[in-house]
């Protein structure tokens, strides 16, 4: 919603500026100077710490570069060819895909359930909202450490399961349960954020329509499915894409909970990138993985902006 409007505003500003150019005064030019000075720290910072590194990472990805051996030779598309043939990279893409799909599915559905429940004007709603949101402000590593403690083979969860006679698995060491554990820990950490966004969307649904359907005898479920859900679907779509983009950047959770294991079943793309760069010192190959990550995020973000533009009238 913001980007398209702002682009228009800036373009408009640009045009007025152009029209005025012939009779600009000293005062106008002084104003320009103030403008340039004010944006300078951010613009120069973006150049130095975003644009330049981005260009550099493309450049590095075309090189054979081992930090320890201190070699830096041009290698053309070698790193990219290696990516195509690398089973480790393929596994990490699969792991990332599982993680993203699982996270989005669980996160969005739980966020929706929580938002709908909190929208019922039940007693204690404010307290529950605080509960659900609180993990968002807890340090990610701290949250993950506590869950790691809970998910140990002899940890709290299995302890409580044992008291009701269930023999719990070793959550973080089993192929099947490790990824699920990472996903669940991440869902509880951040679902409160999406819940708030959905709650805002639900509260924007006009009461009159609900009332009319209610008087026509539509059940609560029917009203939700046929009216509320379509009305908040743009929000659901946007939140889903934001959650996918965020899910691609998962790192600390993997590092603390599973270290990428068992095997490499939870070695997601970013973790693989980190291993290549800072464990194997293969900066050239790590750079080509960075480029891949950037392209994926770029495509997803463009999709998000596109959908946002299309749904824009729904957002008012």
Helix (H) or strand (E) segment spanning residue 193: helix 175-203
Question: Which position has the token pair 């993680």?
Answer: 99
14 contributes a contact to other proteins by CB under 8 A: yes
299 contributes a contact to other proteins by CB under 8 A: no
31 contributes a contact to other proteins by CB under 8 A: yes
Minimum distance, C-beta of residue 192 to other proteins, in the bound complex (Å): 8
Tell which positions 125-144 bind other proteins, by CB under 8 A: 128, 130-143
Beta bridge partners of 74: 63
188 contributes a contact to other proteins by CB under 8 A: yes
DSSP per-residue codes, 282-311: BHHHHHHHHHHHHHHHHHHHHHHHHHHHHT
For residue 173, report the phi and psi dihedrals to the nearest 5 degrees. -110, -5
With H, G, I as helix, E, B as strand and everything else as coil, classify residue 280: coil
84 contributes a contact to other proteins by CB under 8 A: no
102 contributes a contact to other proteins by CB under 8 A: no
Residue among 256, 258, 266, 275 that touches other proteins (CB under 8 A): 256
305 contributes a contact to other proteins by CB under 8 A: yes
Count the alpha carbons within 13 Å of 204 in the hemisphere toward its beta carbon: 16
Residue among 92, 100, 181, 194 that touches other proteins (CB under 8 A): 194
Minimum distance, C-beta of residue 264 to other proteins, in the bound complex (Å): 18
236 contributes a contact to other proteins by CB under 8 A: no
**How many other CB atoms sit within 10 Å of the CB of residue 16?**
9
298 contributes a contact to other proteins by CB under 8 A: yes
Residues 6+ apart with CB under 8 A from 220: none
């Amino acid at each position: 919603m913001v980007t398209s409007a702002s682009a228009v505003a800036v373009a408009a500003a640009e045009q007025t500026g152009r029209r005025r150019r012939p009779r600009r005064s000293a005062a106008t030019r002084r104003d320009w100077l103030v403008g340039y000075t004010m944006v300078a720290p951010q613009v120069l910072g973006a150049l130095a710490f975003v644009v330049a590194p981005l260009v550099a990472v493309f450049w590095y990805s075309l090189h054979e570069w081992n930090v320890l051996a201190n070699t830096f030779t041009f290698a053309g598309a070698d790193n990219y060819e290696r990516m195509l043939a690398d089973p480790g990279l393929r596994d990490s893409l699969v792991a990332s895909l599982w993680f993203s799909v699982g996270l989005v599915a669980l996160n969005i559905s739980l966020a929706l359930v929580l938002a709908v429940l909190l929208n019922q004007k039940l007693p204690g709603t404010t307290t529950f909202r605080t509960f659900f949101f609180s993990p968002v402000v807890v340090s990610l590593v701290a949250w993950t450490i506590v869950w790691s403690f809970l998910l140990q083979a002899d940890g709290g969860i299995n302890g409580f399961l044992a008291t009701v006679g269930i023999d719990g698995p070793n959550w973080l060491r089993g192929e099947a349960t490790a990824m699920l554990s990472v996903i669940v820990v991440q869902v509880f950490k951040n679902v409160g954020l999406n819940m708030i966004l959905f709650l805002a969307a639900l509260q924007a649904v006009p009461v009159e329509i609900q009332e009319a359907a209610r008087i026509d005898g539509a059940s609560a479920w029917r009203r939700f499915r046929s009216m509320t859900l379509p009305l908040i679907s743009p929000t659901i779509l946007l939140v889903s894409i934001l959650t996918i983009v965020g899910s691609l950047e998962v790192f600390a959770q993997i590092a603390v909970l599973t270290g990428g294991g068992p095997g490499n079943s939870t070695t997601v793309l970013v973790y693989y990138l980190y291993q290549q760069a800072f464990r194997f010192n293969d900066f050239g190959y790590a750079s080509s993985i960075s480029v891949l990550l950037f392209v994926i995020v770029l495509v997803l973000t463009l999709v998000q902006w596109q959908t946002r533009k299309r749904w824009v009238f729904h957002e008012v």
